[in-house]
Structure formats: structure tokens, C-alpha cells
Amino acid sequence: MKVSDLVKIEGFKTVTLNDDTQIIKNAYTGDLLSDVIANVGEDSVLITVQAHKNTIAVCSLSSMPAIIICNGRSCPDDMIKAAAENDISIFTTDDTQFGASVKIAKALNL
């Protein structure tokens, strides 16, 4: 699916949409950025609670086009700005990481 399809998932809200035509084939759920960068596959959406600028760096280095921030956490401005600079989209949800992961797995028919 496309990044723009993520907002169609129930409870997902757009924080910033950048290059929403990028394709998502998989997802990775994790809050340890070292674990994420070491194991994530390409074209994955990141499901995490790490709402700060360094998450953008990890996504950019691992070619992840989108992030779902869970548990209703809000994103600081410098994170949103960095996301725009790196063509990464951010969505928030009140779901837990598990809840968000299940929804994305269904949307991806995994």
C-alpha cells in the first residue's frame, strides 16, 4: 500500500504527510532504535513510541517512509520539521504498539 493509505486506518491521524506515494510493504515494531536500524527491512513503516528527532534519522538511514507514533504521544516540532526534510510521513494513534501492528498487518494482508 501507499503511505497515503495509512491515514485510512481507523484511529490513525496524520501529523505530517511527505511524499505519500512511497510504497509500504512491511512494518517493524520497536522502541530500541539500535534494534530497529539493525533489523528492519526496506519499505517498512515504523511502529514506535519514540517521538523525537532521532527516530527520523533512523528512518532516513533505513529507508523507512513512514512512522506510526503510538499511545497518543505527540511529536515535537523539530521532529516534524526533520520528517519533512527527509520525506518521511508521521501518523499518531492512541493504540498501543501491538494494536497498531495488528491494524497494519491487516491492511497489508500479512
Partner 1 sequence: MQEIPISTYSSPTVVLDLIYRLKVKDVMYKDLVCANMDSTLREIQHLMKSKKITGVPIVQGKRLIGLVSMDDIIQALDKGYIEEPCKAYMSRNIIVLEDDMPISFAINYFDKFSFHRFPVLNREKELIGMITSRDITATLLVEINREIELLEKAQAKNNPPQLNNINGEIHSYNIIKHDFENAGYASTQIKKKLKTGGVATPIIRRAAIASYEMEMNIVVHSNGGQLIATYTPEKVIISAQDRGPGIKDLEKALTPGWTTANDWIRSLGFGAGMGLPNVKNVSDDFSITSGPKGTTVTCTINLHKKDEEKINES
Chain residues in the site for partner 1 (CB under 8 A): 31-35, 37-38, 42, 48, 50, 52-58, 60-63, 78
Shortest separation between residue 34's beta carbon and partner 1, angstroms = 4
Three cell numbers written together for 29: 515494531
Is 40:59 a contact under the CB 8 Å cutoff?
no
Question: Residue 58 or residue 104: which is nearer to partner 1 going by CB?
Answer: 58
CB count in 10 Å sphere of residue 52: 15
Shortest reach from residue 94's CB to partner 1, in Å: 20
Q: How far is the CB of 17 from partner 1 (least distance, A)?
A: 21
Alpha carbons 76 and 42: distance in angstroms, whole number: 26
